[in-house]
Chain A
Amino acid sequence: MTETSVSPPVNTISNTSFLEKVIAATPGESHLELCIQCGTCGGSCPSGADMDHTPRGLFALITAGMKDTVLKSNTPWFCVSCYYCTVRCPQEIHITDIMYTLKRLAVQEKVYDDSTAPDFSKTFINWVENYGRAFELGLMSMHMLKHNPFGVFKVADMGVGMITKGRMAFRPTRIKGINGLKAILNKAKELEVAA
């Protein structure tokens, strides 16, 4: 909610409007164009207080074509995927899915490339792409050392607790069909770029 200056609409995408682009990049019928600005989404959001814009505000910016402001907003990265807004929206807008779309667009446009949240997703994905399974200890320690090295001391007792209770693996499991999975994911990424 820190929109201080009103800049003219910035639309760097040729031919299609930003609204159309967001709709096209969201699976299923997103209903984004039907937003009536009622604010039920922001009122339902458990992490709304930490967001630059409420979902409602963000949708107004999308409609206005203010792409840069939208993609720089921290809002999608603070979405916790609880789907409260999605089930409460009177227009049945797939708000959570749209937040995922905005994350993908922000990373594609390299607006949000180095910040903590996308990097967490990247580290997570890296284990999945190479082993086929998630690896919590590797994920949390790599992420923490990179972004919050002193935070290690704060969670040390939790880490020790998890290890002594046998709840942390020291190496990830590798699935047998990892080569097949890699081929699938590579093909999917190829198709995604082509689309």
Chain B
Amino acid sequence: MKYSYFPGCSLEKNAAAYDVSTRAVCKPLGIDLVEIEDWNCCGATEYISLNLLASYSLIARNLAQANKNIGVDQVVAPCSACYLNLRKTDKYMHESPDLSKKVNTALAAGGISYQPGSVKIKHLLDVVVNDVGYDTIQAKVTRPLNGLRIAPYYGCMIVRPEFGASAGNGKPLDNTEYPMILDKLLQVLGAEVVDFPLKAHCCGGHMTQISESTGFEMIRQIVKGASDYNADLIVTLCPMCQLNLDAFQGGMNRHFKTSFQMPVLYFTQMIGLAFGMDAKALGIGDELVNARSALAKIGVEVPEPETPKQKRPTKEELPMPHMPKEG
């Protein structure tokens, strides 16, 4: 199964662990990723806030670039925001010949064009559970995640809004209020899945940067929810959700004077672990909230963080003055 791969900007650096684990598990799953050549940012939720046509043109350039992968008519995006933006552009261009014409006039300035509906856009989770399938995955599990309590967290943009069949994208992926596909996947991997009421709530997106108290409150609800249900960790499928719940968890704790320590990993990392892969090869250890004690439950050792090597003073350098030791 060949797919044009759109990693998105987050997966280049802040969510490199998602990219690494995606590539690692796609091999055994038989998913052949062909990265879209010279892809650009999808504009997240920012470009569309200021420019409509430029935003759609920015996104459509990626779809045009995807068409350069001859014989591959499906695009896979691991980031929910990228996934939504790509699908939305395709849908609205499909529905509005006028928009399609304008976007193509803009694209022509860069010597490219895009015919809406000519590629199918899928989220990575969709590809894993529907194109590969639960049975194939289950057959490859060598280290079941037995005893690990997981809060499955979908966030918003993979399940909402349901862009239906109009752009040739088939049926809605899952229920918009209470999705189950990630729950089932984690069960297949052997985990104990928490019936998590906040699974499709919002992580706050860019809100920590716009209104800190609003952003932190949304993070708090989800982390506290998972903690109340005695989850060992949250598993997510979006780099923005991971960033908010993991990297901002410390700031959120300070803001509310709480002390949550809820690790947040990607579903691809969980697949890799269940397939017996090495934690480090899956980018585990990159998270700011340590997953060590959680993963110890399934006998997985999380690599120690690499401490920066201290430079030894050379003979030519003067020794640094020391305070006399007491006692």
- The answer to whether A189 and B51 touch (CB under 8 A), given A162-B247, A181-B61, is yes
Give the residues from 108 to 126 in chain A that come closer than 8 angstroms, CB to CB, to chain B: 116-118, 120-122, 124-125
Question: Shortest CB–CB separation between residue B195 and chain A, in angstroms?
Answer: 20
Interface stretch of the complex, out of A2-10, A55-63, A83-91: A83-91
Give the interface residue-count category, chain B.
Answer: 35 or more
Q: Is the CB of A132 within 8 A of B41?
A: yes
For B202, give its contact among A80, A101, A164 (CB under 8 Å): A80
Q: How far is the CA of A8 from the CA of B44 in the complex (A)?
A: 38
- The answer to whether A162 and B110 touch (CB under 8 A), given A118-B49, A128-B40, is no
Interface stretch of the complex, out of A15-23, A65-73, A170-178: A170-178
Q: Name which residue of chain A comes closest to B172, CB basis.
A: A87
Q: Is the CB of B110 within 8 A of A188?
A: no
Whether A152 sits at the interface, judged by CB under 8 Å, is no
Q: Is the CB of A100 within 8 A of B48?
A: yes
Question: Shortest CB–CB separation between residue B203 and chain A, in angstroms?
Answer: 8
Question: Shortest CB–CB separation between residue B308 and chain A, in angstroms?
Answer: 7
Q: Is the CB of A192 within 8 A of B51?
A: yes
- The answer to whether A84 and B110 touch (CB under 8 A), given A104-B50, A133-B12, A185-B57, is no
**Residues of the A chain whose Cβ atoms lie less than 8 Å from the Cβ of B292:** none
Q: Is the CB of B209 within 8 A of A157?
A: no
**Residues of the A chain whose Cβ atoms lie less than 8 Å from the Cβ of B160:** 82-84, 86-87
Whether A167 sits at the interface, judged by CB under 8 Å, is yes
Whether B304 sits at the interface, judged by CB under 8 Å, is no
Question: Shortest CB–CB separation between residue A147 and chain B, in angstroms?
Answer: 9
Q: Is the CB of B54 within 8 A of A185?
A: yes
Question: Shortest CB–CB separation between residue A118 and chain B, in angstroms?
Answer: 7
Q: Is the CB of A107 within 8 A of B53?
A: no
Q: How far is the CA of A87 from the CA of B205 in the complex (A)?
A: 18
**Residues of the B chain whose Cβ atoms lie less than 8 Å from the Cβ of A188:** 51, 53-54, 56-58, 102-103, 106
Q: Is the CB of B288 within 8 A of A158?
A: yes
- The answer to whether A162 and B49 touch (CB under 8 A), given A128-B41, A169-B13, A175-B38, is no
Give the residues from 270 to 294 in chain B that come closer than 8 angstroms, CB to CB, to chain A: 285-288
Whether A53 sits at the interface, judged by CB under 8 Å, is no
Q: Is the CB of A116 within 8 A of B210?
A: yes
Whether B52 sits at the interface, judged by CB under 8 Å, is yes
Q: Is the CB of A120 within 8 A of B52?
A: no
Q: Is the CB of A87 within 8 A of B38?
A: no
Q: Is the CB of B14 within 8 A of A177?
A: no
- The answer to whether A83 and B204 touch (CB under 8 A), given A133-B9, A191-B105, is no
A–B pairs, 15, beta carbons within 8 Å: A46-B218, A47-B207, A47-B211, A83-B156, A83-B157, A83-B161, A128-B41, A133-B12, A134-B9, A154-B251, A165-B305, A166-B286, A181-B58, A185-B58, A191-B105
Apart from A78-B210, A133-B40, A165-B287: 18 A-B pairs, beta carbons within 8 A: A27-B56, A28-B91, A78-B211, A81-B45, A87-B160, A100-B48, A128-B43, A133-B12, A151-B212, A158-B250, A167-B13, A180-B110, A181-B110, A187-B57, A187-B108, A188-B102, A191-B105, A192-B53
6 nearest CB pairs, A to B: A180-B110, A82-B202, A83-B160, A188-B106, A187-B109, A134-B9
Write the residues of chain B forming the contact surface with A, with a CB cutoff of 8 angstroms. 9-10, 12-16, 38-41, 43-54, 56-58, 61, 91-92, 95-96, 99, 102-103, 105-112, 156-157, 160-162, 176-177, 201-202, 204-207, 209-214, 218, 247-248, 250-251, 254, 285-288, 305, 308
